[in-house]
Structures are given as C-alpha cells and as structure tokens.
C-alpha cells in the first residue's frame, strides 16, 4: 500500500519511542531519589517531578548530600566490580599454613590473609 510507511521508518520510530520511554523512567527514578517520594503513589507528570527535583537541588545542602552519596556509591561499585571481574588467585604458604587471597581492592595492592585452620 502506498500510504504505509517503509519498515526502516517504523523501526526508527520504534527506537525513538523506546528511548523516550527509557529516558522518562530513568528521569522519574532520579527525581524520586532527589525528592524522596514513594514512586507507587506519585502519579504526577514527569515535568512536575523534574521541577520539584530541580528546586530541591538548588538547596546547597541537598546537592552536597547527593554528591557525597554518589561518591560513596562510586567507591562501592568500583570495589564490587574489582571483585566481580578479578581473576581468582589462591596462594598457599606451606611454612605458615595460611591461605593468601587478593582483596577486592587489589588495585591498591592489599591482600587478605585467611587462616587455613
């Protein structure tokens, strides 16, 4: 039919729609984090949520608290990722009867020593 859009156009429209839905979901989550509202009960339009979150972020203490939380979250995620993506290594020291394993913070050169019992 000549009135139908080509498949490539429909595919791109689908991608655009999916991106918009995903962006709105992420933005909604971030707004609820900033303003601390129950997302199950907050049925306001996303524009109202963004306005309220921006108003909250203008308060320097709120922005500082969020920044501090994000710094701690980044450190925790870096440690977690270092652990999850590390190569397992176990060294056995015969003389001391200890197991020596790398720590999650192996990039800093620390090791954990576990008793072999």
On the question of pLDDT at 98 being above 60, the answer is no
How far lies 75's CA from each of 2, 46, 64, 71, 107, in Å? 57, 30, 17, 6, 13
Tokens matching residue 38:
């129950």
On the question of pLDDT at 10 being above 70, the answer is yes
Question: In 3D, which of 56, 54, 49, 51 has the Cα closest to residue 29?
Answer: 49
User: 58-89 pLDDT, tens per residue?
Assistant: 888 878 887 887 788 888 878 877 777 776 55
Question: What is the distance between the alpha carbons of residues 28 and 35, in angstroms, rounded to a whole number?
Answer: 11
Percent of the chain with pLDDT over 90: 11
DSSP conformational letter for 108: G
On the question of pLDDT at 102 being above 70, the answer is no
Percent of the chain with pLDDT over 70: 71
Question: In 3D, which of 7, 29, 26, 6 has the Cα closest to residue 18?
Answer: 26
| Average pLDDT in the chain | 75
Q: How confident is the model at residue 44 (pLDDT cuts 50, 70, 90)?
A: very high
Q: In what order do the strands lie in the sheet with 91-93?
A: 91-93, 98-102, 111-115
What predicted TM-score, i.e. pTM, was given to this entire model? 0.50
């Amino acid at each position: 039919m000549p009135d139908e859009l080509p498949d490539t156009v429909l595919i791109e429209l689908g991608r655009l729609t999916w991106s918009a839905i995903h962006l709105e979901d992420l933005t909604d989550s971030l707004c609820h984090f900033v303003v601390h509202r129950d997302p199950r009960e907050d049925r306001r339009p996303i524009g109202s949520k963004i306005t309220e979150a921006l108003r909250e972020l203008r308060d320097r203490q709120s922005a500082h608290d969020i920044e501090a939380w994000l710094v701690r979250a980044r450190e925790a995620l870096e440690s977690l990722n270092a652990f999850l993506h590390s190569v397992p290594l176990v060294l056995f020291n015969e003389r001391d009867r200890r197991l020596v394993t790398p720590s999650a913070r192996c990039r800093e050169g620390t090791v954990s020593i576990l008793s072999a019992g």
